[in-house]
Amino acid sequence: MLGVPTNSKPTWITKLAGMPVVHKAIKLFRVQQIASRALTVIPMKRRLKRTGMEYRVRFLESLLIADEIFQRGIYREAFEEKEIRTFMDLGSNVGYFPLFAVEETGRRDMIGLVVDGNEQMAEESRWHADHNALGKVHVKFGVVGYPRDVSEATFFVNPSNVASSAQPVLNPDVPAKGESKPVTVPAVDVFGEWRKIAGDARIDLMKVDIEGFESDFIKNSAEALSITDRLVIEWHKWVNGRDAIDALLAEHGFTLRKVISEDPHCGVAIYDKKPTAHA
């Protein structure tokens, strides 16, 4: 998952998330399962200050995600010095990013494509879009990062909803909450889906957090990247180094704007398309 922005202090939630002993205790005492059952019955609900949009917490990990996105603004700098009217959210998890995008821009008419390979997470993302009447935000269930002619692929669903991925290697430095289960899911052609919902519109901002499958995504998504102006991506160090991500994105006309967060496990960086790349 995400780290701490350079202009933000760690909260107690992020401090706990960084302690291996906490992860071991969660697995040992089945905290994850117990919390999820309780939150399914009575989810926590919160409203965002600017727009009044509501989000809910139905999974233990969502407490951390909400803290990262809404409290510490891990993605805020991706909206600076650029008007964002269209976006993709690839690896949406429970679907908080679209709410943050609307909260940050004040635009409820944003066009968005939201995708997750965990069916439960896609359903939760859809709930957030529907519940907040974001009629132009479209949610798809499936895996991204495969060539456009691939219709199905294996996705590894982990008991921890922040560890599911199209690649099977878990972070060796974080105690696992359980074994990942391989399932066959639809492979989503993000370029084709974008054309269906947005026509010839460009993608102002693409957010990618796909737990170690980012290099494959970049290699196989030339058409989608060709119409993208800004990218905010999390790289996962046990699978991909940032140098490799830099090099791959350079082939598609992107240059590094800023590393906004980095820890021993992963990092988040913003890349902008060179003006001449789509002139």
CATH at residue 266: 3.40.50.150
Q: Is residue 146 part of a domain?
A: yes
Instruction: Name the percent of the chain lying above pLDDT 90.
Output: 77
Average pLDDT of the chain to the nearest whole number: 89
pLDDT score at 11: 56
Average pLDDT for 64-90: 96
pLDDT above 90: residue 211: yes
Is the separation of the CB atoms in 54 and 132 below 8 Å? yes
**Residue located via tokens 């600017």:** 50
218 domain residue, yes or no: yes
The strand pairing partners of 235, in sequence order, are: 267
pLDDT at 16 over 50: no
Residue 132: pLDDT over 90? yes
Please check the confidence at residue 247 and state whether its pLDDT lies above 60.
yes
Q: What is the pLDDT of residue 177?
A: 75
More confident residue, 50 or 276: 50
Q: How many domains does the chain have?
A: 1
Residue 198 lies in a domain: yes
What confidence score (pLDDT) does residue 22 get? 39
pTM of the model: 0.86
Residue 46 pairs with which residues in a beta bridge?
A: 55
pLDDT given at position 105: 98
| Average pLDDT, integer, range 199-220 | 98
Between 6 and 98, the higher pLDDT residue: 98
Q: Is residue 16 domain-resident?
A: no
Radius of gyration of the chain (CA): 18
Top pLDDT among 32 and 47 is at 47
Q: Is residue 108 part of a domain?
A: yes
Q: How many CB atoms lie within 10 A of CB 257?
A: 18
Higher pLDDT, 44 or 7: 44
Q: Please state the rounded mean pLDDT for residues 219-238.
A: 98
Mean pLDDT of 200-227: 98
**Candidate from 17-21, 201-205, 259-263 with smallest mean pLDDT:** 17-21
pLDDT band at 70 (very low <50, low <70, confident <90, very high): very high
52 lies in some domain: no
- For the ranges 9-23, 176-190, 202-216, the lowest mean pLDDT is seen at 9-23
Residue 31 has pLDDT above 70, yes or no: no
Question: 66 lies in a domain?
Answer: no
For the cut 70, the answer to whether the pLDDT of residue 21 exceeds it is: no
Q: Is the pLDDT of residue 25 over 50?
A: no
| Strand ranges, E, within 91-186 | 111-116, 137-141, 152-157, 181-186
Q: Is the pLDDT of residue 17 over 80?
A: no
The whole-angstrom separation of Cα 21 and Cα 6 is 25
On the question of pLDDT at 250 being above 70, the answer is yes
Whether 279 shows a pLDDT value over 70: the answer reads: no
Which domain range does residue 191 map to?
Answer: 74-278
Does 63 reside within a domain?
Answer: no
